[in-house]
Amino acid sequence: MKLWVVEDYQAMSRRAADVLAREIKRKPDSVLGLATGGTPVGMYQELVRMHREEGLDFSRVTSFNLDEYVGLPAAHPQSYRTYMEENLFAKVNIDPRMTHIPRGDAPDLEAECARYEREIARAGGIDIQVLGIGRNGHIGFNEPGSTAATATRVVQLTRDTVEANARYFDSPDEVPTQAISMGIRTILAAKRILLLASGSSKAEAVQRMLEGELTPELPASFLRQHADVTVVMDRQAASRLPAATIAGTAAD
Ligand code: GLP
């Protein structure tokens, strides 16, 4: 794993956007795996800036998001589809037909999961997958207990995750308790992985991901099985790593 410890959220966002921009320039028809949550918002802002000011071209890019809440129609204000429209898709020249997010309101959820896996395969697989990390070490919505063999499926969210996401909803009982998520196997099949972590609430998960046991109890630990993972984290997210580990990483 390649580790970058940078000063703060802004530096993390810039570094992450830079990695994606290089990928798009190297391969204009890249297949991007995209993430939601609070962490990548700054990265998307920077990508939008690069598009507007530097002409970063998304016209041939394909995207697949990691996950979507079960029960929310695409147009719901808290759906991940809405998040992606607001943060990126509506602000760059990506072809809307090339953007993929599982449909949380699909009548047959199992069929939707299978369809999603097929679409990823049909696009030739994911070139670079962006990930955040949950406080409990989840990636996508692969909660503790998810094995390395999991594909896109319906998952039950843990209480911790529902609580963490409640801030986006008007009341706690509106927060969905299920989601469709790419599996660990789907994520590990991406050619490259870029994981972002910011803030002290992620420090323990980051430490266990890098130094703990390889276990379904900390789904992000499986990333150590992948040959090309870059972790960009700010100082707070890196605060539980040994000084020697931090010193050995590329500084900002
Ligand atoms: C959410 C998402 C994940 C995200 C994680 C962390 O529930 N499904 O993809 O990485 O939790 O979110 P945040 O970046 O807001 O801390």
71 lines ligand 1 (CB under 6 A): no
Question: Best of 44, 141, 180 to mutate for ligand 1, by most ligand atoms within 8 A of CB?
Answer: 141
Q: What angle do CA 247, 227, 84 make, to 5 degrees?
A: 90
Question: Does the active-site annotation cover 213?
Answer: no
* pLDDT tens digits for range 196-235: 999 999 999 999 999 999 999 999 999 999 999 999 999 9
Residue nearest to atom 1 of ligand 1 (CA): 37
Q: Which residue out of 68, 112, 143, 234 is catalytically annotated? A: 143
Instruction: Give the residue, by CA position, lying nearest to ligand 1 atom 11.
Output: 134
What's the gap between Cα 155 and its chain centre?
A: 16
Rounded alpha-carbon distances, angstroms, from residue 108 to 102, 104, 156, 180: 12, 10, 17, 12
Q: Which domains does the chain have, with CATH numbers?
A: 2-247 (3.40.50.1360)
Q: How confident is the model at residue 247 (pLDDT cuts 50, 70, 90)?
A: confident
For 48-105, the pLDDT digits (tens) are 999 999 999 999 999 999 999 999 999 999 999 999 999 999 999 999 999 999 999 9
pLDDT digits (tens, 9 = 90+) for 175-194: 999 999 999 999 999 999 99
Across the chain, what does the average pLDDT equal?
96
Q: What is the distance between the alpha carbons of residues 42 and 246, in angstroms, rounded to a whole number?
A: 23
Q: How many C-beta neighbours within 10 Å does residue 82 have?
A: 17
CA nearest ligand 1 atom 12, residue: 37
User: Of ligand 1's atoms, which has the minimum distance to the CA of residue 38?
Assistant: 15
Determine the Cα–Cα distance for residues 208 and 230; give it in Å rounded to an integer.
16
Residue-level pLDDT at 252: 56
